[in-house]
Amino acid sequence: MPALHIAPPATDEDFMRIALQLAQEAALIGEVPVGAVVVKDGVVIGRGSNAPIAGHDPSAHAEIRAMRDAAARLGNYRLTGCTLYVTLEPCAMCAGAIQHARIARLVFGAHDYKTGACGSVIDLMAEEKLNHHTTVESGLLAEECSATLTQFFAERRRQQKAEKPGDN
């Protein structure tokens, strides 16, 4: 009887690469390239990419969409024991939703020095008065996550400049 090949467990980097792929998909449709996945027991149970423009929905951030997907699969709005991987530091809205969902661990790539709510501008995850505390790890594949955003916005500026009559 041949031996069974068992794949090694996925790593944090593997899950962040899935989130990066989702970010690239968002960029292709003109959304800010942010991707997120929710993982429980080594299995991706939720996926999301930014879609506020396409969905006419200000809450359609990658994190929210990934948590909605995971909650629907689990049949529970509480995502205890889950890890959320996201390419960009969550904003205040997403940080609040992460806490309400009871996400155990958050791993993000690039810091957001304009709206980041997990340490860059404010740190909602460290607020002692809140009743749930998510463990936060930052900087995983930060250069790749940041480059995805930088390239997207550089291209957007080039397109806007090209569209302005008389500025060429």
Extended beta strands in the chain, E state: 35-40, 43-49, 82-88, 105-110, 135-138
User: Annotated catalytic residue: which of 25, 63, 89, 163?
Assistant: 63
What pTM, to 2 d.p., does this model score? 0.92
pLDDT tens-place string over residues 66-101: 999 999 999 999 999 999 999 999 999 999 999 999
CA distances to 3, 54, 61, 85, 93 from 58, rounded to whole Å, are: 51, 10, 7, 20, 10
pLDDT tens-place string over residues 16-51: 999 999 999 999 999 999 999 999 999 999 999 999
Classify 42 in phi/psi space as left (phi over 0), alpha (psi -120 to 50) or beta.
left
Catalytic residue list contains 63: yes
